[in-house]
Amino acid sequence: MFRWLEKYFTFTANERRAVIALMAIAPFIYLVPATYKYLFPTPEITVDTAAIANVNAFITAYKAREAEEQLREDTIASGSEFNPYAHENFRSKDAKALQPCFSFDPNKVSIDEWIKLGFTEKQALSIEKFKAKGGKFYRPEDLQKIHVISEDMYAHLLPCVQIELPKFVKDTFGHKAHTAYIAKDFTIDIATADSALFERQKGIGPSLASRIVRYRNRLGGFTSIEQISEVWGMPDSTYQLLKPNFILSSNTVQTLNINVADMETLRKHPYINYSLARIICSYREQHGKYKSKDELLNITVITDSIFKKLEPYITVN
């Protein structure tokens, strides 16, 4: 029995020295972490409330800016003129309490009358400065162009606006044309109207009016009223509302000779992309000149619907 215990608990000289060394080192191993914490205490984490406030303010401002940009895109897409000053965050600090309004023509009222309507003298001078530079109000909604007029003030004054305009106005070509603000059933010839005439239609701003004219020029002319709906940024609701006001006096258009036009010329047309232009030219090189427009139907990618759209704008002569 004792020999068995002696077998496991009897140490050589080297083993005894190792055990003594471990027992001597053990306290140091235990004390090292505590000593480190004492010599190198962990610094306290302090919260910089001012910095956090600045970050929150930046995030709020960024979101507001993002919302304004979205409002700008939506407004442009609807054909209206974007006015950031109509937002409640841009209302003048000098605005007075709303006053009872009376019928007025913003093109004729004086500074004193603007003040009577509830504006400060500073705001009235700003409006008159706009008029002095050639600014003119063609419809009540044009009040939104003035940055000193808040949404509340605009809504308050709108029923009181009475704008007198000449019975006829001239377009840029010198032709007489009924103004859109005299009669709601004002019609416009989409074959010849310039951007100024398009802009007189409710829901069409300067940008959309310019895009309509550019699209017509790129096409070579309109062949149907429905092509107005193809203009980028034209909301379907605006198109459906204004469609009765559009007329097409002539569907004569500029044509492309597909036997002569090169790929770069063809691809500039809104109905012909780069791939289709390349295929049309390749077919001509392989089979010779087109003898008729209908030959385009031999090209697999040109469906009946595509050909129907292209047909008025192409020729083989």
Q: Which of 227, 247, 267 is the last residue of a domain?
A: 247
Same domain, 153 and 172: no
Say how many CA atoms lie within 13 Å of 88 toward its Cβ: 2
Give the Å distances, CA to CA, from 92 to 57, 71, 89, 193: 22, 20, 9, 38
Three-class SS of residue 107? coil
| Per-residue 3-state assignment (H helix, E strand, C coil) for 263-286 | HHHHHCCCCCCHHHHHHHHHHHHH
| Mean predicted confidence (pLDDT) in 27-33 | 78
CA angle 296, 298, 302 (to 5 degrees): 60
Total domains, the chain: 5
- Rounded CA separation 256/276 (Å): 14
Residue 228: CATH number of its domain: 1.10.150
Alpha-carbon dihedral of residues 144, 146, 147, 149, nearest 10 degrees?
Answer: -70
What's the pLDDT at 62?
66
Q: What is the pLDDT of residues 185-221, one digit of tens each?
A: 478 899 999 888 898 888 888 889 999 999 999 999 9
Name every residue whose Cβ is closer than 8 Å to that of residue 100 and which is 6 or more positions away in sequence. Answer: none
Range of the domain at 57: 49-78
Please give the average per-residue pLDDT across 120-142, as a whole number.
82
Which of 194, 212, 247 corresponds to the end of one domain? 247
Asked if residue 146 has pLDDT above 90, the reply is: no
Tell me: do 17 and 73 sit in the same domain.
no
Report the candidate in 201, 205, 209, 208 with the shortest Cα–Cα distance to residue 241.
201
Same domain? 174 vs 240: yes
pLDDT of residue 237: 85
Residue pLDDT, tens place only, 92-110 = 444 455 667 788 888 888 8
In Å, how far are 57, 97, 115 from 124, measured between CA atoms?
34, 15, 7
Say if 26 falls within a structural domain. yes
pTM over 0.85: no
| 85 within some domain | no
* CA atoms of 12 and 14, how far apart (whole Å): 5
Residue 181 belongs to some domain of the structure: yes
